[in-house]
Amino acid sequence: MTRVVITGIGACTAVGDDSKTCFTEFVKGTQGNQPLKQLDASKFNKPNAYEREDQGEAGKARSSHFLIRAITEAMEEVPEIESETVPVYVGTGLRELRTLEVSALQNEPTDVADLDFSKAVKSVLPNCGNVYTLSNACAASNYALALAFDQIKLGRTKMAVVAGCDTLTASMFGLLDRVNPNMPTAVQVMEKSRQGVLMGDGGVAIVLESEESAKSRQQSILAEVNSVGLSTDAVHETAPDQPGIERAITEAFAQANIDKQDIDLIYVHGTGTELNDSVESKALSNFYQTIERKPAISGIKAMTGHTSGASGCIGVMSAVESILNSVVPPTPGTSAPLDEVTDFPIYAQSHKAPIKHVQVNAFGFGGVNSVVLVSEYKESGYV
Amino acid sequence: MSNTYSILSCELYKPEMAGNEIPCIAEAENVHLHYKTASKLLGRKGLRYKDEATLMALVAAQQILASAPSLSDAQKDATAIIVSSNLGNVDTVLKTAQTIAQEHVDATSAMDLPNASSNSISASISIVNQLRGPNLMLCNGQSSGDDALQLAMDLIDTQRAERVLVIGVEVSNDVIAQYIAPSVPRFHGACGYLLESSTVARAEQVVKLHQGEQAIAENLITDEEIKTLCNDASGAAGVLKIKLACEYASKREPRSVSAHSQYWQIS
ipTM reported for the complex, 2 dp: 0.97
Is the Cβ pair B157, A104 closer than 8 Å?
no
List B residues 200-259 in contact with A (Cβ-Cβ < 8 A). Answer: 234
Domains of chain B listed by start with CATH number: 4-266 (3.40.47.10)
State the best of A122, A149, A171 to mutate against chain B, taking most chain B CBs within 10 Å: A171
pLDDT in tens, A37-70: 999 999 999 999 999 998 778 899 999 999 999 9
Mean pLDDT of A172-190: 97
* Minimum distance, in Å, between the CA of residue B14 and any CA atom of chain A: 22
A 10 A CB-CB count for A2 gives: 14
Q: N- to C-terminal Cα distance for chain B?
A: 20
B214 pLDDT above the threshold of 80: no
pLDDT, position B207: 87
pLDDT at B22: 96
Q: What is the average pLDDT value for chain A, to the nearest integer?
A: 97
Range name among A26-35, A79-88, A144-153 with the lowest pLDDT average: A79-88
User: Which pLDDT score, from 0 to 100, does residue B113 have?
Assistant: 95
Kindly state the helix (H) or strand (E) to which residue A276 belongs, with its residue range. helix A274-287
Which numeric CATH code is attached to A4-216? 3.40.47.10
B132 interfaces chain A, CB cutoff of 8 Å:
yes
User: B112–A175: do the CB atoms touch at under 8 Å?
Assistant: yes
A113 vs B contacts (CB less than 8 Å): 141-142
Half-sphere exposure of B59 (CA within 13 A, CB side): 26
**For A195-211, how does the pLDDT look when each residue is reduced to its tens digit (9 = 90+)?**
999 999 999 999 999 99
Q: Do A109 and B181 touch (CB under 8 A)?
A: yes
**Average pLDDT of the residues in A67-94:** 95
Q: Say what the pLDDT of residue B198 is.
A: 81
From the list B111, B152, B159, B115, the residue with the least C-alpha distance to B135 is: B152
Question: A94, B260: Cβ pair inside 8 Å?
Answer: no
How far is it, in rounded angstroms, from Cα B207 to Cα B250? Answer: 8
Q: Which of A62, A299, A344, A108 is CA-nearest to residue A202? A: A62
Q: Does the pLDDT value for residue A273 go beyond 90?
A: yes
Instruction: List own/partner pairs for A347-353 with CB under 8 A and 24 or more apart.
Output: A347/A296, A347/A298, A348/A29, A349/A29, A350/A27, A350/A28, A350/A29, A351/A296, A351/A327, A352/A326, A352/A327, A353/A264, A353/A296, A353/A326, A353/A327, A353/A328
Q: Yes or no: is domain A225-375 CATH 1.10.20.10?
A: no
Do the Cβ atoms of B20 and B243 come closer than 8 Å? no
Mapped onto helix, strand or coil, the DSSP state of residue B254 is coil
Chain A residue with Cα closest to B101: A43
CB pairs under 8 A between A and B: 204
Higher pLDDT, B197 or A86: A86
The C-alpha atoms of residue A377 and residue A222 are separated, in whole angstroms, by 7
* Residue ranges matching CATH 3.40.47.10 in chain A: 4-216, 225-375
Give A227-236 pLDDT, tens digit per residue: 999 999 999 9
pLDDT for position B249: 94
Q: Do A109 and B183 count as a contact with CB atoms less than 8 A apart?
A: yes
Tens-place pLDDT, residues A284-308: 999 999 999 999 999 999 999 999 9
Question: What average pLDDT does range B21-28 have in this prediction?
Answer: 95
d(CA B252, CA B47): 39
Q: Give the SS3 label for residue A14.
A: coil
Q: Is the Cβ of A64 closer than 8 Å to some Cβ of chain B?
A: no
Q: Does A230 touch chain B (CB under 8 A)?
A: yes
Banded pLDDT at B205 (limits 50, 70, 90) = low
Average pLDDT over residues A315-339: 98
pLDDT digits (tens, 9 = 90+) for B85-128: 999 999 999 999 999 999 999 999 999 999 999 999 999 999 99
Mean pLDDT to the nearest integer, B145-150:
96
Q: So what's the pLDDT on residue B3? A: 67
State the smallest CA–CA distance between residue A84 and chain B in angstroms: 12
- For residue B215, is pLDDT > 70? no
pLDDT at B209 over 80: yes
Q: Residue B44: pLDDT above 90?
A: yes
d(CA A130, CA A116): 13
> Does B117 sit within 8 Å of A364, measured CB to CB?
yes
pLDDT of A383 reads 54
Distance CA B59, CA B40 (A): 10
Interface of A with B in 280-309 (CB under 8 A): none
